Amino acid sequence: MKNDFIEKYGTWALITGASSGLGVEFAHQLAAKGLNLILVARRKHLLDELALQLVEKYKIQCQVVEADLTLDNFQHTLMNAIADIDVGLLVNNAGMNCEGQFYRGSLDRNLQMLELNTRAPYILAYEFGKKFIERGRGGIIFTSSISAFNAHPFLSHYAATKAYILSLAESMNYEFKEKNVDVIALCPGMTKSEMTKGMKDGPLLMEAAPVVKTAIDNLGKTAYVIPGFINKTQVFFNSRILNRSGATHFTGALLKKVLPAANKKKPSK
Ligand SMILES: NC(=O)c1ccc[n+]([C@@H]2O[C@H](COP(=O)([O-])OP(=O)(O)OC[C@H]3O[C@@H](n4cnc5c(N)ncnc54)[C@H](OP(=O)(O)O)[C@@H]3O)[C@@H](O)[C@H]2O)c1
């Protein structure tokens, strides 16, 4: 049977941050479409377990690559490990956060976040984008965040990294369209994953499955996508109803109320 998704994006996808949260969900949904997968993260035992499940359930092939994407030259190790695989879809999903007052996270942790959330996805998009353009087809999914749309006091640096990703993805979407390469930024609000572990369940916290489905369904259709009515409304309010300063004040006041880390003054490691 003809599989349009595979015709467009080839038979192999690479997912970063595949050991938990949204990355695991990307792996299941892409495997269900028949794609073979390269699973990338640091915790190899989790990737190995996931690979076993995927191979058994979807009858696909899986390759696990243990990699720390904050390391200098991580791309050489990664590219060497998959040199003989023709990747057609890149899911630039790995990320971390650092929340609370500006000086709560140490400089080291913040620099690690900068590297993981911006440098690594840029390098991978650069390397794979070149191959996709040469081939005349392919796709790149970036995981950004709704925090990308306006300034977020108490989530300042994280939101800035996600704004970088959104801007990069939108520009690449425009430039790559005529090369038949699809680029999209997924902009989730709070979603169940290790990142939100311990957060109270409620309408603000989405399941990973519909979040990931929104990205996959909209690849090739839009430059960015916001999953969920509440998240869409929040972005609309902050970017269309309020001006930039109003959005900063509103978001700051809200996060000061709801983020426990916003009220802790002691620097964290
Ligand atoms: N959950 C939310 O509410 C939410 C909202 C908006 C956006 N996002 C974004 O969604 C993406 C996925 O996050 P998640 O929510 O699924 O969180 P998660 O469950 O914590 O997953 C993060 C993933 O990134 C990987 N990772 C972390 N540090 C790494 C490193 N140095 N090198 C390689 N991989 C690394 C982790 O694997 P290892 O620890 O095994 O390396 C894990 O697989 C992130 O970009 C995040 O910013 C999440």
138 C-alpha to ligand 1 centroid (Å): 23
Q: What is the mean pLDDT of the chain?
A: 95
Sequence-ordered list of residues with C-beta below 8 angstroms from that of 99, at least 6 positions apart, any chain: 105, 154, 155, 158, 259, 261, 262
Residues 158-193 have pLDDT tens digits of 999 999 999 999 999 999 999 999 999 999 999 999
| Ligand 1 contact via 118 beta carbon (within 6 Å) | no
Query: Looking at ligand 1, which residue's alpha carbon is closest to its atom 46?
Result: 95
| Ligand 1 contact via 66 beta carbon (within 6 Å) | no
| Ligand 1 contact via 19 beta carbon (within 6 Å) | yes
Beta bridge mates, 36: 12
173 C-alpha to ligand 1 centroid (Å): 23
Q: In order of start, what are the domains of the chain with their CATH numbers?
A: 4-263 (3.40.50.720)
Residue 13 Cα distances to 133, 208, 231, angstroms: 16, 19, 28
Ramachandran assignment for 161, one of left (phi > 0), alpha (psi -120 to 50 degrees), beta (any other): alpha
103 C-alpha to ligand 1 centroid (Å): 22
Query: Looking at ligand 1, which residue's alpha carbon is closest to its atom 17?
Result: 195
Residues 150-162 have pLDDT tens digits of 999 999 999 999 9
Q: Would you say residue 211 has pLDDT above 70?
A: yes
| Ligand 1 contact via 100 beta carbon (within 6 Å) | no
| Ligand 1 contact via 109 beta carbon (within 6 Å) | no
Q: Would you say residue 263 has pLDDT above 90?
A: no
pLDDT tier at 264, thresholds 50, 70, 90: confident
Sequence-ordered list of residues with C-beta below 8 angstroms from that of 243, at least 6 positions apart, any chain: none
